Amino acid sequence: MTGPASLEILRTRSGACRAVRDFFFSRDFIEVDTPVRIPSPAPEEHIEAEPAGDWFLRTSPELQMKRLLAAGAERVFQLGPCFRRDESGPMHNPEFTMLEWYRANADYLDILADTKSLVAAVATAITGRTTVSRHGRVIELMPCWEIITVRDAFLEWAGWDPLRDQDPDRFDMDLVCKVEPRIAERDHPVILKDYPVHGAALARCRQDDPPCAERWELYIAGIELANAFSELTDASEQRRRFETATAARTARGMAEYPPDADFLEDLDRGRMPRAGGIALGMDRLVMLLAAAPDVASVRGFV
């Protein structure tokens, strides 16, 4: 592991943050600051929050940003710190910088259009080009993004259908060992889309046969950069999904989080509009643009 970042990389990082803000301001988004210390993180099967007194440090600002949509905001973005316990590796730091944005009256494909424009705009602002180089390869960020469904990717490279056979454990292993290495060979960004419902506790479910979660992940040079949803707005479905995730956490001996009553009340009262949202790892984006080896080397302190 390397780092901390050189002054030159900190300048790149600052420029990237500025380009992100310019991008969203020009599209009539408002920048928001939601609390970093919260009582009720969303229960996710494989994400553990860092305790902070009786509360927790946020693992994502998702629930609070959705509450702003419920309060009438139509376009919100936030760039700020998030914390995930025991996540440390070349692509992980226990404290990291997340970019999230949400659009009311939109879905995950509207968010995809935003993402394409954003990545190109930030790359142009930083490097003057719409390409990034990684390990001697040039990745063209414009105009072609390849969209592959999770089902097709797994049928092609892992030999099974993860929508029909719900097997979260095998899914993770084959994603890492069989699917992601193939995605990493592409010299353009790849969108992996329409995931099994497990593991996407806040995504809207599409009632196809079999059903899938309206969720996509962006990969550039094999690095997973962002996760987007059509947001789940159905209160009883959301409660069920939280309960399933909580049961899985309890079975694994993970901490129990009190439910976020305010968020659920917004859903109960029908205040939350149809929406699309996304979380993008800002450190990873800067790492790609700066051709840095890992996320630690684009952070000022390690």
Partner 1 sequence: MYNASDLRKGLKVEIDGVPYAITEFTFVKPGKGQALYTCRLKNMINGSTFMKTYRAADRIDQPVLEEKTLQYSYNDGHGYVFLDQDFEQVTITSDVMGDSRHFLVEDATVRVLFHNGNPIEITMPTFIEKEVVHTEPGARGDTATNVMKPARVAGGYELPVPLFVNQGDIIRIDTRTGGYVDRVKR
Q: DSSP assignment, residue 230?
A: E
**How many other β-carbons are positioned within 10 Å of the β-carbon of residue 255?**
13
Residue among 73, 82, 84 nearest 32 (CA): 73
Residue 91 binding partner 1, by CB under 8 A: yes
Nearest approach in angstroms of CB 191 to partner 1 is 12
**How many other β-carbons are positioned within 10 Å of the β-carbon of residue 158?**
18
Residue type, 113: A
Nearer to partner 1, 31 or 95 (CB): 95
CB 279 within 8 A of CB 81: no
Nearer to partner 1, 80 or 168 (CB): 168
Residue 176 binding partner 1, by CB under 8 A: yes
Nearer to partner 1, 289 or 295 (CB): 295
The pair of three-digit structure tokens given for residue 55, joined into one six-digit string: 């509360």
Q: DSSP assignment, residue 158?
A: T
Nearest approach in angstroms of CB 103 to partner 1 is 20
x/- binding map, residues 153-172, to partner 1, per CB under 8 A?
---------------xx-xx
Binding residue (CB under 8 A) for partner 1 from 15, 39, 199, 293:
199
Residue 50 binding partner 1, by CB under 8 A: no
Nearest approach in angstroms of CB 199 to partner 1 is 4
Q: For 17-58, give the secondary structure using H, E and C.
A: HHHHHHHHHHCCCEECCCCCEECCCCCECCECCCEECCEEEC
x/- binding map, residues 61-90, to partner 1, per CB under 8 A?
-------------------------xxxxx
Nearer to partner 1, 47 or 264 (CB): 47
Binding residue (CB under 8 A) for partner 1 from 95, 152, 224, 234:
224
Residue among 27, 64, 103, 110 nearest 274 (CA): 103
Nearer to partner 1, 15 or 199 (CB): 199
Residue 257 binding partner 1, by CB under 8 A: no
Please list, in sequence order, all residues whose beta carbon lies within 8 angstroms of the beta carbon of residue 219, skipping any fewer than 6 positions away. Answer: 180, 183, 184, 186, 189, 190, 191, 192, 225
Point out which residues bind partner 1 (CB under 8 A): 44-47, 86-92, 168-169, 171-173, 175-177, 180, 199-200, 217, 224, 227
